[in-house]
Every structure is written in C-alpha cells, then in structure tokens.
Amino acid sequence: MQLGPIARARGVRLLALEAIDSTNDEARRLIETGERGPLWIVAARQTKGRGRLGREWISPPGNLYASFIFGDFSQTRLAPELGFVTGVAVVRALRATAGQRDFKLKWPNDMLFDGAKLGGILLEGVGAGVAPLAIIGVGLNVSQAPEDMPYPARALAALGAAAPSAGAVFAAFSDALCEALDLWQGGEGFAAIRDEWLRSASGLGETIRVALTSEIVEGRFDTIDAAGRLVLETADGRRVIEAGDVLIGPRAAQGARA
C-alpha cells in the first residue's frame, strides 16, 4: 500500500500492517498514546473488523481495510459531516480507478456497486481535550464480497480484468479524501459536499424504507438536509431522520411485512 502523491505532499503518514484486530481499534490505541494524525492505518486482514452499531465486518484478504486519524476541525458537532466527505471521496476514487460504473452512496454510510453493497464507512469520534479527533474507517470489497448476508454484496473483482487492486483504490482514495476535505473546509463547505453526495445518492426521488429503533418508515427520499439528516416525504407528511438503516434486498422485503 502507498499513499497518493497529494496525500504525501500534505504530510499524511501511512502505517501498513499485515493483520490487526480492527484498523479503527488500532487508531484509537494510537490516539491514546499521543497520535494526532493525519495518519492512515491500513491492514491486509482484520480479525475483528467492526461495522456500524458494533456489527461484525467480515474481512477476507484482498479487500481494503483502512482508518484515518483526522483532527483538522474545530468543533465536535462537525464530525458527522466527515461521513459525507468520505463518501464523496470514495466515489471519486472508484470512478478514477474503475471507470464510470454504477457506484452509488446509500445513506448514511454505505457504498453500492450495481445496487449491491460494496463497502461502508465507520466514523468514530475521540475526545482529546480541546482538540476534537475523528477516526474515519473504510472497508471496501475489492477481491471478494461476503456471502450469506441479509443484503446483496458485490466486489470490484466482478469487473474482471478491469478491476483495480486494493492498493490502486487506496492511493486514489487517499488523494481524493485530501481534496474532499479541502472542499469541506472544516464545515464551511459542507453545502458543496452535500450537493456532490446527492448526485451519487442511491434511491433519491424514489420510495424507500428506513429501519428505526422501533419502526419501519416508508416514504419518498427527498434529500438530505443541511445537517446530513435524511428527509422523507411520507403518507403522514415530511419526516426528518437522524439515524437509521435504509433497507435493501431481503431486509427490505422483511421490512415491508413488519
């Protein structure tokens, strides 16, 4: 694994590992010993990969597992915006390395390829005195996709000879994230990030289902608001959702019966 030229020029560092329990967990341990970034931790294999809400992230070799320690922002409340910044950067990198394929972003933190899950983002905040820090974790199915999942999953390897390697995607992504962070400007440019995110949004303008803690909400995906919240037009009126899971595949069918 190597950083792209833009990331190297910005002073971003790289810690490449053969195996680790979780790149996000390693980032947290490094922060506890004084690391403040900008630093990428990349592993060829994870033994205890984690996804959102503590879910297991199946981590076979050949895929991309990476976490970025980032602290160049002033307020903790801005940290959730970094998930959208990262999504924009991932799509830029995928299109740069794999061409103009059907890559989409699924609210709040997933990447899709031809409608199937390609990867996800795990954003975690770390208290560090007066200077907030964020750990941006990214997992992408490059060589293989997990099987027996409750939703369809796909890997870049489905492109055959045109499929980029994990190393090529990471190099492009490390540069794309620097550029997306420049656009974000510590929160001042979130409107521009939001607009670009929406241009790649899966299901925009369509009827979708969202699983909340105690209910399934159905409505037309209208937009995301200035805070990144999902906005649905439902039969009962406009609904703004801060956290939930957009359902696809078998889970969507199960939600329809719930």
Q: Same fold for the domain at 5-199 and the one at 207-257? A: no
Q: Which residue has the higher pLDDT, 72 or 6?
A: 6
Q: For the chain, which residues make up each domain, given as ranges? A: 5-199, 207-257
Over residues 150-190, the pLDDT tens digits come to 788 999 999 999 999 999 999 999 999 999 999 999 889 99
- What are the C-alpha distances in Å from 80 to residues 36, 189, 257? 18, 14, 32
Averaged over 78-84, what is the pLDDT? 93
Q: Which residue has the higher pLDDT, 71 or 11?
A: 11
The predicted structure's pLDDT at residue 255: 44
What would the two tokens of residue 48 be?
């205890």
Out of 3.30.2350.10, 3.40.220.10, 3.30.930.10, 3.40.50.280, which CATH number does the structure's domain 5-199 have?
Answer: 3.30.930.10
Report how far residue 165's alpha carbon sits from residue 144's, in angstroms, rounded to the nearest whole number: 11
What kind of fold does domain 207-257 have according to CATH?
Answer: SH3 type barrels. (2.30.30)
Report how far residue 120's alpha carbon sits from residue 213's, in angstroms, rounded to the nearest whole number: 20
Over residues 18-65, the pLDDT tens digits come to 999 999 999 999 999 999 999 999 999 888 666 555 555 556 788 999
Over residues 190-220, the pLDDT tens digits come to 999 999 999 999 999 999 999 998 899 999 9
Average pLDDT, the chain: 89
Over residues 221-232, the pLDDT tens digits come to 999 999 999 999
